[in-house]
Amino acid sequence: MHEREWPSGLLAMNRETTFTVSLKSYPDKKQTFATESVTLTAEKDYQAVATLRLLPTDLSKDVTNVYLEARFSDLTSEQKLPVSRDNGFLFIQTDKPLYTPEQSVKVRVFSLNAELKPALRPVTLTFLDPEAMVVDTVDLQDVTGILSMQNPFKIPLKQSKNSVLSRLQFGVWKIEATYAEEFITTARTEFEVKEYVLPNISVIIEPEANYISTANFESFKVKVMARYMHGLPVVVADVFLKFGYTDQSSTNVLAGSLRRGAIRNGKGDFELKVKEVFEGEAEGPRTLQALDGKTFYITTTVQESTGGISQESELATVKFCLSPYTLGLIATPPFIKPGLPYFVRVMVKDPLGQPVPRVPVKALVTIMDDETQAQDHSDQNKYRKSQADGTALFTYNIPPNSKTATFSLQTEDSTLPHTSQAKLTYSAEAYKSINKRYLYIDWASHYQDMKVGEYASINVYFYHHPSITLGTFSYQIISKGKIVKVKTVPRVGSSNVQNINFHVTADMVPSARLLVYYILTGEQMAELVADSVWFSVKAKCVNGLKTKLWANQESYEPKENLMLQVQAGHGSLVALSSTDTAVYNLRAPSSDPMARTLRHIERSDQGCGGGGGKDNANVFHTAGLTLMTNATAKATSSEDATCSAVLRPKRSTDMKKEMIKKVQTYNTKEQQYCCNGG
């Protein structure tokens, strides 16, 4: 891993010790790339951090591993570590998503290192046509972290095979960005080339739901709204509407689906007889079962009744589904801890992944003990209803001799038949401990998106033989592959639960992992006990950056000067871009750019899944750490990883709530309409 700091430390000691860590060549250990010594003292809770840096010039490009060597007293331990040349982040921005052949493409690249600071590395841009052929490459020098092409990319002509004339290349083009030297970091984006004219009318199709299931398959309602691009509603217009379905390969519009209606004062309501039209087709899917998983497709043409201006629009976001719900686990560990509570948080989502409140959920639980005897624990709390965030919480007390627990969850919507209920079944194995010592982080019962500046409060449960006293325990917070906080906490009180509280900081964005562990001596051996959880952190931007942009007035006449005011941190470099929003009626952006950026940065997380592990070493491995200790733990190899991604939610937002919140920031109906339309 190039230009990477390697936090390292000994978990626990009871005497002052000098600890030396080194990075050495693999497999011969003849070359030492970096080394550092630290002294562990009682004043620092026998913990320290050694920082090692592996530079790009240290290794040839064919080297894939190095040794991490740890030495203290007369003991030496080593561990093979993989080397990655994916370092830093690249983001590509174009001035708009759609171009005519006569237009040029303005391109900007943001280049950051692993610390999210300007990388200052040369970048190469590669342009590929719709046939994936390389058309042009451009080398850019980075002096600020923001690289712009001096000359915008001009879409070239292509020689036709059957003619000496050239033809334009319509379709979706791609841009790839790579670092010119040393690193393999890449980024990609795309833009479309086609002949188009910016629309005079904005048409929005608003469905009654984002899915078609048993309840609305017979009749499905949509609202068609039309406004001129300057904001006023279309007073009177004719509407021609057709529908069908799309699958992975094609779009199919049904001949019998044509409906004609009218818009008055910018709005028109339509009721579509979906079931009747599909059943009347001679070919293709005719039932909801046959359409399950496909997308409902609507196309409309709005034509002025007076002026004759027309505009087309389409909608392809509504899903056909037998069940209007899916179930997923949130903040729920994939392992149970015998003798401790276990919290299951299940999320009810619609077909587009949005949370659904007020849906009854039933849970059935069977726990197997070490004598393979099954016990039904379903009666502890069998029914729950999803809350405003779409989640329902179930709590179970796991018996001390438990080996596995099987959970069967399903919705209990009384308006749906049994076959349309969403179902989820999974098994959780017991964490393996030689001396039956356990630790459980209760993140599920207090699950929420953390916010920078707030304090997190999380309960930790302990289980060990009552004759042994636990004096302290420790925790680490890891974000973007780095340890950002280490703390040792005194164990207080006689209860088996203790709360930890920490400040959520900007260096934990966009997500972090909380790792809690203790080493307990007694019963003739020292044992390391650990648990971990993953949590997301919300912020408007990474590294605590803040930017504000505003104008002195809301509307301007053509050729007027627009005065902008920008507020940012001292020394910040701000890049501006402007786009005629009418182009988004022809090609909408694929996703929220900020969410896409955070997902990209989150790739630097060296861990996997939602946390936890089958044993102490595996807990460290899934948290993205390499463990070396003499306390009954052996490092887990990457091939033996336990990763349960289903227990970690994808980064997303409740788009409907976010859209409503954003729309309400505008004062006039015209502005709210334009915001709602994108």
pLDDT at 517: 95
Sign of the Cα pseudo-torsion (620, 626, 627, 633, in order): positive
Q: In the predicted model, what is the mean pLDDT of the chain?
A: 86
Domain 327-417: CATH class, spelled out: mainly beta
pLDDT at 4: 43
Most trustworthy range by pLDDT among 369-373, 527-531, 566-570: 527-531
Angle between helices 669-676 and 655-663 (to 10 degrees): 150
Q: Give pLDDT tens digits for 367-398.
A: 998 777 777 776 666 899 999 999 999 999 99
pLDDT at 161: 57
Most trustworthy range by pLDDT among 283-292, 299-308, 574-583: 283-292
What are the CA-CA distances from residue 191 to residues 153, 186, 381 (Å)? 12, 17, 52
Answer whether 17-82 and 201-320 agree in fold. Answer: yes
For residue 460, what is the enclosing H or E element? Answer: strand 455-463
Q: Which of 485, 519, 490, 515 is closest to 503 using CA atoms? A: 485
pLDDT at 246: 95
CA separation for the pair 165, 169 (Å, rounded): 13
| No. of helices (H) and no. of strands (E), the chain | 6, 44
The 3 state secondary structure assigned to 336-378 is: ECCCCEEEEEEEEECCCCCECCCCEEEEEEEEEECCCCEEECH
Is the Cβ–Cβ distance between 674 and 202 less than 8 Å? yes
pTM for the whole structure: 0.83
Angle at 513 between CA 508 and CA 517, to 5 degrees: 130
Calculate mean pLDDT across residues 460-483.
Answer: 92
String of DSSP letters for 590-641: SS-HHHHHHHHHGGG----TTS--SSHHHHHHHTT-----SSS--PPPGGG-
CA separation for the pair 647, 149 (Å, rounded): 43
Helix, strand or coil, per DSSP, at residue 167: strand
Instruction: State which amino acid sits at residue 610.
Output: G
Write down how long the chain is.
678
pLDDT at 375: 73
pLDDT at 666: 54
Calculate mean pLDDT across residues 658-675.
Answer: 52
pLDDT at 657: 45
* CATH code of the region 201-320: 2.60.40.1940
* CATH code of the region 89-193: 2.60.40.1930
pLDDT band at residue 632 under the 50/70/90 scheme: low
Q: Examine the pLDDT at 668 and tell me if it is beyond 50.
A: yes
Burial class (CB in 10 A: 0-12, 13-18, 19+), 553: exposed
Is the Cβ–Cβ distance between 285 and 278 less than 8 Å? yes
Q: Examine the pLDDT at 163 and tell me if it is beyond 80.
A: no
Q: Give pLDDT tens digits for 474-517.
A: 999 999 888 899 999 999 988 999 999 999 998 898 899 999 99
pLDDT at 6: 45
* CATH code of the region 17-82: 2.60.40.1930
Q: Could you state, in order of their start, the residue ranges of all structural domains in the chain?
A: 17-82, 89-193, 201-320, 327-417, 648-678
Q: Examine the pLDDT at 471 and tell me if it is beyond 70.
A: yes
Q: Give pLDDT tens digits for 238-277.
A: 999 999 999 887 899 999 999 999 999 999 999 999 999 9
Looking up tokens 């790739």 gives 603
Q: Which residues pair with 568 in a beta bridge?
A: 547
pLDDT band at residue 9 under the 50/70/90 scheme: very low
Backbone angles phi, psi at 311, to 5 degrees: -150, 135
What tokens does 165 get? 């004339």
CA separation for the pair 538, 506 (Å, rounded): 9
Calculate mean pLDDT across residues 660-675.
Answer: 52
